[in-house]
Structure 1
Amino acid sequence: METAPSIPTAEPVEPMSAEPAFMDVPDVVVILGRSKEYLYAGLREGRFPGVKFGRTWGIPRAFIRSFIADVVELGLTTSFEDYAAKWIAQAREGVATVTEVAA
């Protein structure tokens, strides 16, 4: 009896979350309690991670979550700008995680 050839299969793909990957600036304003002018200026100047979709800016949900987790849960004392700079640098290296950004 002849056996069927082995067919390679793709790696399992993580299912997409029901939450969008990006948050709108007005949503981040509510969460962080900062002004939209502050956030828009930081996005335009490249101080905060974000992407522009047409005329709308999106801020990575993972960045906001990690900032809140590190400041609230770990008690990290830092400026938002310094935290963003570290997060961006580590994201570019492909290693941005909650605990690594806090270090």
Structure 2
Amino acid sequence: QKEVLYYLFVKQYSTTRLAAIRGQSDRNIRKLRMTIQKKLQKRMYEHLSEKMENDHGLTLREREFMEEYEALLQTMGKDAVIRRENKTKPRKKKAALDDAKDG
């Protein structure tokens, strides 16, 4: 799992590229990524909860994480995982671009 974590998050490899390197399916790599994220988020939540119990302050980002994770725990239970957002805008369809050129 450390290898998958390294290539996906540090080296920014795509799941397809990593799957080819490891001789696994893209789907399997995506499942591994989700499992890793779930475990890390659970450990982070436990750590921050302990930090709060000991009257240590949390940063704004830590508080936001706690709120979001707690809300997911209510709806998803033990399967709670904060999914990353796709920050890139969707591409325009090629056909739509061709029509614009003709007009």
Greater relative contact order, per chain length (Cα 8 Å cut-off, separation 6+): 1
> What TM-score, normalized by structure 2, do the two folds share?
0.26
> What TM-score, normalized by structure 1, do the two folds share?
0.26
Q: Higher strand fraction: Structure 1 or Structure 2?
A: 1
Q: Higher helix fraction: Structure 1 or Structure 2?
A: 2
